[in-house]
Each structure stands twice: as structure tokens, then as C-alpha cells.
Chains A and B, each alone.
Chain A
Amino acid sequence: MSYEINDVKTGINHAKGMNYHVHDIRAEMKKLEEEGEIKIGHIIGQYKEEEVMYGIKKKVPLDMHYQHKSCGQCANLPGVPRSNFYYRDKLGIKYYNDMQQTSCTAWNYHASGLGNLVQLASVAARNWHRAYEEGYNFTIHCVTSFGNYLEMRHLLVSNKELRDSVKKVLAKLGRELVIPEEIVHDSEIAYALRDKILAAADPERIEGIKGLRAVEHYGCHFFKQVSDDIIGGKRPIVVGGLASHLGVQMEEYSKWFMCCGFGFRHILVNREFTRSAQNIKLKAIKQEVDPDMILVNCTGCGTTFDKTQWIQKAVGEDYHYPVVFYSQLAALALGAHPFKEAGLNFHVTPVEPLLDKMGIAYN
């Protein structure tokens, strides 16, 4: 039976070519907008175009940033949202830290199966609407939220039934469905601003950054959940791109693709899985590179890398790689105090050796 089914589908695949899933979400959204089916929250102010898969251009807004926060970062790695605010303050970018936003609830959803798609998409749309009614561009701190919002946009655009259900829920809140023209992660914004960050950077700090060796790890939900709308194409470039622009020497390691082991539920209730996955990643990082730091853009991965190095002593390993977010690096380059303004003291894997190497005082 399966043979027959496979045969049918193989035929379709070949007929359409292996890239049969190529579609231009922007064109689909435009069509729905013209039909009056959805509203689009168009980019406000200046933007920069960066290329995503198939050469499609993504407009990265450069000002008026609604800060859609990450609950994991705010609770656990608060230096990240603080650094996100810091680099905007330094570059004179207007942003809005709204207290009428909620978590995206995607961490809950993927971990537990509690909730449903109408709930998840309505939560997304309510947050999108907050940015729209306040006159800001929707921008996202968290990779879990980013992947979720890319997926919710896709599902809302491709499925009328879901769209209608979500519209009904929103109407009960006095809101409407306004899909942002672009779903943009903060690390994509920092990348698009790389020239400005470098130009405004403290030369002494850049001197300290120059020549540091780093590996990068991207959240799975940054590029695997919906893989055709991230800057750089199939493999992400924004974290390493920003870092190398600031002078960091980026190094390759064989396990770059592998999931960090966060697993949404595993980090809470099955951490032996998390630790085992980490051991594979860290071992490759140590043997192949032995870098000065691990650069990340994802809440879950940052947590996992930072929190799971110490325990590897239990299996005879000694790992000590400071975990730094792209925006913390940007903030440091721009002159931030490593603790009071970049919050690196909230990390449990010691960052002090890295700061010493960079010549940055922290006490």
C-alpha cells in the first residue's frame, strides 16, 4: 500500500520539481489584502532590504520598533532584552516596550500540546494588533516567537477556515486581523544595522573584540520551522555576519546544525536528554575549535548552552564557553557596562575570562 502511495507522490514531486513548495508569501498576502480578506501592517519609516531564500527581498524596518519580548529572556537572561534596548538607545532608534503584550505561548504549545491553533494564532494576532494600533513595526526578541509567528502568518494566509475563526475571536476583543508586512527577528535587525553599529562603536571595545574566536548556534525555530524567510537563505548568517563585521573571527564546527537539546519540554522534565545533546555539541565545539565564546540568537538555546556546561563535569568534561547573544555583543561594542547594561552577570557559565580578554572592566 505504502509503495503505491509513494509512487503517486513521487510523480507529483517530479512534475513540480523538488522545490514544489516555493511560494511567495508576500504576493499571497497582497492578493488577500486586495480582496479585503486581511489587512497588512505596512512597514513604517526607513527599512533595509536583505535577501531571503529564492532571492526574495525582506524589508527590515530600521526605526519605530515595537519590542515583542521573550518571556524566557526576561525571566532568565534579562541582559538580552536590556541589550536590545541599549543598542537602540545608542543608535537613536525609537522603540516601544509595551506592557499590553502577552507571551506568544508557543513554548507552552510545543512543550505541552495545551492550546490549539485558533488560540495560538489569535494570541499572535492580538500582539500584532497592539503594534499596529500604536503605530510601530512589529519586531521580535525571541526565536520561539519568531518561528511561531512565521508559521501563524503562513497558516492564516493559506487557510481561510483558521482565518475566519481567528477573526471571530479578535472581534470579541474589539480587534481585527492585521498581519505585519514582515515578520522580523531582532537578530535580523541587528544584522541590518551592522554598519551603523560599527560606526557608533567604541574603538577601544572594537579593539578588544578583534580576533576573538567564536562559533555560532541558531535556534531551530529560527530557520527550520519555516525555512524560507530568514536572511541569508537556507543557512542563517545574521549572528556570525554581525559578529564578523565587528571583528570576531567566526569558526565552523561539524555539529552546527544539531538541535541544542532544549526540546521545550525536555529542559523542564527530561533534562538528561538536554544534557546528552549538549555533550555532543560541546564536544565538537571543544575538539574542533575551542573558541572564546558561543554566539546565539535564541532564548532556549542560550539558556541550554549557558546552564548545561557545568554539569558536564559529571561525565568528565570541562566546558567553560561564555554564551553571548548577538545583541549583548553589539551592546558591548557600543560601550555598554557588561553587567549593569548588558546583564552578562545573569549567565551561569562565567563570562569574566572573556571580559578580561576583551579588556572590559566589570566590577
Chain B
Amino acid sequence: MSEENKNPVTEKIESTKGGHFYKEIMKDFRIKESLHGCLNCGTCVANCPAAAFYDYSPREVCQMIIEGDEETIEEYMKSKIWNCAQCYSCKYRCPKENSAADIVMAMREIAVREGLAAEALAGYTRIAKLVLTRGNQLAPDMLSPDAFPDWGPRMIELSSKKMEMREELFEGFPGMNVVDRAWAAEDYTIYEMQKIWEESGALEKVGTVFPFLVDIVQDDMEEKAEEMEAKIQEKKEKLEASKK
């Protein structure tokens, strides 16, 4: 870490506070960039859409870390962090350049790791599965009118005509007219994505919420491994050769 990134405030808090969640949060290197002391001015709250509708406050997020207030931190870890819209309005407006948004993100990661996110992620299975098996996050098929009744009658019409409409729109653009994913990423590409999740430890984390998904991904990878690893080997050799 460069001199620039040293933050005497967070270093000082770190050395004086306790609490399990607090210690986990402080391990995330983003915290150093996200806290520079807090004026308690409430500018962040005034700009926070989550604070407008929920019992939630970005000021409190910053204060509880500065204070090392484990009780409040726990309250946030268990549910309140999921109220944040991740809009970064707090970061943009804070005179101290604090970022409650980034602190919340670090906390969400920990909540998943520590098995506290099951309720928050109920209803999230389809997206997680799509990311890990198709390389995309969204598909036209997921936007069914029964899942989004509040999107109105035109949604029903659209949903029934989407195939013809997409065909017309994407004539001459291969890979774009698909409905089970956003675009037809190649198998090799999906394999690379899966490998990234595995190598980075992210797949293991997925297992804390969706254990069955890890099995699906690993089976999928195993099936393709021989062919795909041969391709990767070719790529590695090409890269080596280009360095010489």
C-alpha cells in the first residue's frame, strides 16, 4: 500500500476497537478510502433515498464504524445494510469524501460470507444462476408479467410478442436474438467466467447461500474441462511467445 493510501483515522480506530463484525469490516481495504472522520452534518442523509423511506442512515453507518459500536453494526449487518440503494449519493455529497456506500458493500460481502444473507437473497436464485451458467445477469425470459405485475398491461403484450419483435430488431446481428440470456456468450467464455469465480474464492462464497448452485457450476465445468483447458493452454503459449 502506498503512502497516499495510509489513513491515520482508520488506523487509529483499528487499534482501539473490538467486536467481531467490526474487525471483519476493517479488514476490507476500501474502508481506508471510505472514512475520513465525520462531521455528523447529515448531508449524506439529506441525499439518501434509503433514509427517506427506511429506518436507515449513512451518517449512522460512518459513525458506527468510527465508534466501533458493535451493537449498531450488528443491527446493520443483520438487516439494515440491505436497504441501501448503492447510489453513492452519500459519497458524492459528503464534505469529508466518506463513502457509506462502500462501507455497506464491504458489509454485504461479510454478511454473505457469514451466512447472514439468506433472507435478503431469497428470490435471487435465478440471477445468481444466470451469472454463473450463462455469463449474463439478465434474460428477456426473466421479465415475465407475473413477476412484474406493477409494470402494467403493455408488459403482458410485450412478453407475448418478444420473439418476433427481437427477430425484427436484431436481423443481421448474430447472438443478439436470444431470450434465455442477454446475448449468446460462447461456452468458452462462460467457462472462463466460472473459472474466475472459482479461482477468486467467490464461488465458495456463493455456496454459503446457494449450495446447489456450486454443484451445478462444478458439474458444468467438469463436463467442459478437457476441451476448454486445451484452449486455455493454447492461449497461454501464445501469450508466452508474444512476451519473447
Contacts and interface: CB of A to CB of B under 8 A. Distances in A.
A343 to B, nearest CB: 5
A87 to B, nearest CB: 14
A175 B151 CA distance: 42
B193 A12 contact: no
B61 interface: no
Interface in A159-177: 159-162, 165, 168-169, 171-176
Interface stretch (B18-26, B216-224, B231-239): B231-239
B185 A100 contact: yes
A254 B233 CA distance: 56
Interface residues of B, number: 104
A107 B13 CA distance: 32
Contacts of A349: 154
B225 interface: no
Contacts of B75: none
A159 B29 contact: yes
Contact of A111 (B37, B124, B236): B124
Interface stretch (A74-82, A209-217, A286-294): A74-82
B201 A116 contact: yes
B86 A12 contact: no
Contact of B197 (A110, A115, A173): A115
B170 A10 contact: no
Interface stretch (A44-52, A241-249, A268-276): A268-276
B80 interface: no
B128 A116 contact: no
Contacts of B112: 112-114
Given A8-B8, A9-B96, A165-B200, A112 B121 contact: yes
Interface string B80-116: 0010011111011001110001000100110110000
B66 A78 contact: no
A57 interface: no
Nearest to B206: A114
For A12, A107, A174, the residue with the greatest tally of chain B CB atoms inside 10 Å of its CB is: A174
A5 B235 CA distance: 52
Contact of A224 (B92, B109, B153, B154): B92
B31 interface: no
A13 B199 contact: no
A348 interface: yes
Contact of B143 (A76, A269, A350): A76
Interface in A204-260: 220-221, 223-225, 227, 257-259
Contact of B142 (A2, A75, A102, A263): A75
Interface in B145-168: 148, 150-155, 158, 165-166, 168
Q: Which of A108, A113, A118, A263 has the most CB of B within 10 A?
A: A113
A340 B153 CA distance: 22
Contacts of A330: none
Given A265-B82, A273-B85, A5 B108 contact: no
A264 B89 contact: no
A12 to B, nearest CB: 7
A107 B202 CA distance: 15
Interface in A20-58: 20-21, 23
A75 B85 contact: no
Residues of A contacting B: mostly? helix
Contacts of B148: 307
Contacts of B137: 71-72, 103, 105, 107-108
Interface residues of A, number: 101
B131 A2 contact: no
A171 B233 CA distance: 11
B166 to A, nearest CB: 6
A18 B9 CA distance: 16
B12 interface: yes
B105 A113 contact: yes
A160 B29 CA distance: 11
Given A122-B200, A173-B195, A276-B53, A259 B89 contact: yes
A113 B111 contact: yes
A255 B50 CA distance: 15
B182 A172 contact: no
Nearest to B191: A173
Contact of B151 (A12, A74, A227, A307): A307
8 contacts: A8-B12, A9-B36, A105-B137, A110-B105, A116-B205, A165-B200, A174-B237, A348-B158
Which 4 residue pairs spanning A and B have beta carbons closest together? A9-B37, A174-B235, A113-B108, A310-B152
Given A81-B176, A97-B173, A110-B105, 8 more contacts: A103-B135, A111-B127, A113-B109, A114-B124, A114-B205, A126-B193, A307-B151, A308-B150
Interface of B: 1-2, 4-5, 8-9, 12-13, 16, 29-30, 36-39, 47, 49-50, 52-54, 63, 66-67, 82, 85-89, 91-92, 95-97, 101, 105, 108-109, 111-112, 117, 120-124, 127-128, 131, 135-140, 142-143, 148, 150-155, 158, 165-166, 168-170, 173-176, 181-186, 188-190, 192-193, 195-197, 199-202, 205-206, 209, 232-239
